[in-house]
Structure 1
Amino acid sequence: MRKSINKLFLLMVAAALVFTSFVIPSMSVHAEELDLEAESAILVDAETGKVLYAKDPDVALPPASMTKIMTEYLVWEAVENGDISWDTTTQISDYAYEISSNVDSSGIGLTQQQDYTVEDLYAAMAINSDNGATIALAELIAGSEGEFVEMMNAKGEELGLPEYKFVNATGLDNESLGDNYPEGTSQNDTNLLSARSSAMLGAALVNDYPEALEISSMPSTEFDGKTVENWNYMLDHDSVNLDQYFYEGVDGLKTGHTELAGFAFTGTAERDGQRLITVVMKTDSIEKRFEETAKLLDYGFDEFDTQELFPAGYQEEGEETAPVARGKEREVNIGINEAIHVPVKSGEEELYHLEYVIDEDRLNDDGELEAPVEADEVIGTVNVVYDGDAEDYGYISDETSQESYDLVAMDDVEQSNWFMLTLQSIGDFFVNMFQGAFNWVKGLFS
């Protein structure tokens, strides 16, 4: 009877194990399973510039009010350079007043013959996306929006944006500006950014001026005696109707919408010290741009973790040394003097290796380093190579890529004196002569 019970118990355990193996799926999500409903999208680790996901990221599309991220950057830069201060005041031109009075184009209704501080106008632009406030800031900084547009395009080139075209400060289509479209542009022009360029611009703002997040994270603010709301529904709004879009850690960055652009959003969120930048372009509704952004953030935070893959002092197996000429030692230990941290997908920690590239200018004709060599001296670069099967999206740009690190000498190798060099030369002569003779004799019997 006891044997029968034991057999029955074992059968039940086995059946449970088999059943469990079928009903519990892997929780890991593959990039292709995201199935984003956006024409273009990208997900980037802000610290390293590593692209964690991309969908047609290099297609230039109208960014609508995401254009204002560049305007925000130039405001912060102007304050940093002392050209303006947050307390600097300005009044509203006829052009800015006309645009701000249009409630169909994010207008909160600015008042003429009234002084507005840069701080107030910036908040109206960054929180409520007010176009009149944006134009007022552009006119204050550059004298005219046309001259400000020149600054925008120059900064785009400086930041290395791969696909961009700025024709106004707001992101509206020029035809929406009537006869006020900026000098140097045409009435049919519109701003253009790719998802990659928008992410690079967002990362530049966040990394260079992190205080900008203190403003972009505000769900609402008081302006001119009235409450204005942030178009970013992923923040912690008081409205019950927006609770479904709230995402913990989101603190920016900029929404955008025109008929031509559809609904777009450059977002950013931070959790446990990891900051992500997201871009979705040309979604078909206000809600969809936040839903698709949440998919990207879930994927980034759930599937990736920035890890120390290679500690300081690490040497790639089989490439621990490099030959040295004219030194007291014939070789020198080489490796990395700083730890390498990379956002890694769960379970893929072992799927990376280092590839050394020694600077050719440091090598003689025989491929040797020339003594003297100092410890921690940079002699080349180290590339982090991914060996897995999943698609590797690389880094957001060559300029911001952290895929290459310094390859250094790990010891001092002093230059040998003339006597020791002479002895080495004599020794090398006899070694080569013996090797030649050995090969000659060996050839006789082959």
Structure 2
Amino acid sequence: MGLNSKSAILMEASTGQVMYELNADQPMPPASMAKMMTEYLVLDSVTNKKINWTDSVPISEYSAYLSNNKQLSGIPKAKGDQYTAQDLFYAVTIYSDNGAAVALAEQIAGSEEKFTQMMNETAVKMGLSKEAHFINTSGLDRSDLKQYAPTSIDGETIFTARDSALIAYHLIKEHSEILQYSSIVSKKFRSTDANPMINYDWMLSGNKDNPNFKKYVYDGLDGLKTGHTDRAGYCFTGTAERNGLRLISVVMNANSRESSFLDTRKVLDYGYTNFEKKEVVAAGTEVESLKTVPFKKGVNTQLTPVTKEGLTLLVKKGAADSEFVKKAEANSELVAPITKGQEVGTMTVTYNNKSYPVKLVSSTDEVKGSWIRLLFRAIGSFFSDMLNKNQK
């Protein structure tokens, strides 16, 4: 693909299916892409009523330190200033503001270190790599924080391109409202500010009429997070949706912001050009390799299984049906009564060496047989077995 970035990955957003990767498991500093985890936990806190968007959030000494260092944060804020949680979230999502991220973390957890512990715990829950590690809300290096560097958390923030894609996957899947923020191209932080915050994501569809950024614009792109430090290089986790297909791309350690955007275009183009969604299994259909499933103590002795849900995969365009290997297996020791929709087995679809389970359920209600029916069935089975033994 000829990427400038040292690491990259492309993922389908609804399933997490990986379509392309380059050194995707190589841990690297992510710079401000670490803020995606901060955003996830802030949105979680709003959803769980731990904070409200209208809450007044004070600016601490630490937040003010970052806010008034133009190399570390974009929006000047003084200690003791108060802003709503939502205004600070706008600053994080649009302008990657580090001081705002700290203020929100302190409001939610009491301190940035406690919030960062939540970030690391969430990384485990999300299934990130064992190397994934956060030391703050911003992705800044320890040396940037001076006296405010964490004392209870060692090391530096680091994770892989696959980790970044997984964070984005959970962020979009569980808090799709993030895209309402990440897609904003510009907004004033304070109504009295002379200039608005300009989103560092120049690829946003909303920039199509901006003469400065239009050459970078990617149709359908509405997020998600840029990042840059000297150690990290230029990083970008992007997401776009076209014709109902949302993709997540990550590039890390490009040598310029422009290169990170050009690489993102290449990765996304690869996905939209070469892949399509294909319904591999339809919901409510019978299974060719498992026409019936036996069960005990019912009026009937067999039932017809059907798929509980459908399975749609992102596949190479023109993929043949023979590329999808389907195997079905019934649950053992099923006993009546069995209700329609009750799980009775599993079908496994294998494509490109990855397996996808599909639950099989009963297509009918199966009632329990009366004791006399079961008695005569048992007697019949006994004599049938004896006859078969004698014939042998």
The one-letter amino acid of 1:195's match is A
By how many angstroms is 1:268 displaced?
0.8
The one-letter amino acid of 1:54's match is E
In 1, Cα distance between the equivalents of 2:237 and 2:178?
14
User: 1:190 aligns to what?
Assistant: 156
User: 311-320 vs 265-274, which deviates more?
Assistant: 311-320
In 1, Cα distance between the equivalents of 2:149 and 2:330?
53
In 1, Cα distance between the equivalents of 2:36 and 2:391?
72
Q: Which has the higher helix share?
A: 1
The one-letter amino acid of 1:354's match is K
In 1, Cα distance between the equivalents of 2:122 and 2:329?
32
In 2, Cα distance between the equivalents of 1:374 and 1:90?
53
Matches within 5 A, 1:327-346: 327-346=298-317
| Secondary structure, aligned partner of 2:347 | strand
Q: Would you say the 8 A contact 1:42–1:279 is kept in 2?
A: yes
By how many angstroms is 1:106 displaced?
4.1
User: 1:205 aligns to what?
Assistant: 171
| Secondary structure, aligned partner of 1:162 | coil
Q: Would you say the 8 A contact 2:8–2:161 is kept in 1?
A: yes
In 1, Cα distance between the equivalents of 2:247 and 2:290?
35
Q: 1:258 to 1:413 in 2, by over 3 A?
A: same
User: 2:335 aligns to what?
Assistant: 370
Post-superposition CA distance 1:272-291 (Å, at most 9, x none): 22211111222222122112
User: 2:259 aligns to what?
Assistant: 288
User: 414-423 vs 294-303, which deviates more?
Assistant: 414-423
Q: 1:55 to 1:358 in 2, by over 3 A?
A: farther
TM-score, reference length from structure 2: 0.91
Q: Would you say the 8 A contact 1:316–1:354 is kept in 2?
A: no
| Secondary structure, aligned partner of 2:361 | strand
By how many angstroms is 1:198 displaced?
1.5
In 1, Cα distance between the equivalents of 2:381 and 2:28?
65
In 2, Cα distance between the equivalents of 1:356 and 1:40?
38
Match of 2:249 among 278, 284, 288: 278
The one-letter amino acid of 1:165's match is H
Bigger-Rg structure (1/2): 1
Q: Please tell me whether residue 172 in structure 1 is matched to residue 140 in structure 2.
A: yes
Post-superposition CA distance 1:72-121 (Å, at most 9, x none): 11211222222322222233222222222222234332234432222221
Q: Would you say the 8 A contact 1:352–1:384 is kept in 2?
A: yes
Q: Would you say the 8 A contact 2:310–2:358 is kept in 1?
A: no
Q: Would you say the 8 A contact 1:309–1:349 is kept in 2?
A: no
User: 2:31 aligns to what?
Assistant: 64
| Secondary structure, aligned partner of 1:374 | coil
Q: RMSD across aligned C-alpha pairs, in angstroms?
A: 2.2
In 1, Cα distance between the equivalents of 2:2 and 2:360?
40
In 2, Cα distance between the equivalents of 1:82 and 1:329?
52
Q: Please tell me whether residue 404 in structure 1 is matched to residue 357 in structure 2.
A: yes
Q: Please tell me whether residue 348 in structure 1 is matched to residue 319 in structure 2.
A: yes
In 2, Cα distance between the equivalents of 1:93 and 1:349?
60
Q: Would you say the 8 A contact 1:71–1:169 is kept in 2?
A: yes
User: 1:380 aligns to what?
Assistant: 345
User: 2:21 aligns to what?
Assistant: 54
By how many angstroms is 1:158 displaced?
2.9
Q: Please tell me whether residue 428 in structure 1 is matched to residue 381 in structure 2.
A: yes
In 1, Cα distance between the equivalents of 2:308 and 2:80?
61
Match of 2:369 among 409, 416, 438: 416
By how many angstroms is 1:246 displaced?
0.5
User: 1:314 aligns to what?
Assistant: 285
In 1, Cα distance between the equivalents of 2:153 and 2:125?
21
User: 1:18 aligns to what?
Assistant: none
| Secondary structure, aligned partner of 1:279 | strand
The number of equivalent residue pairs is 385
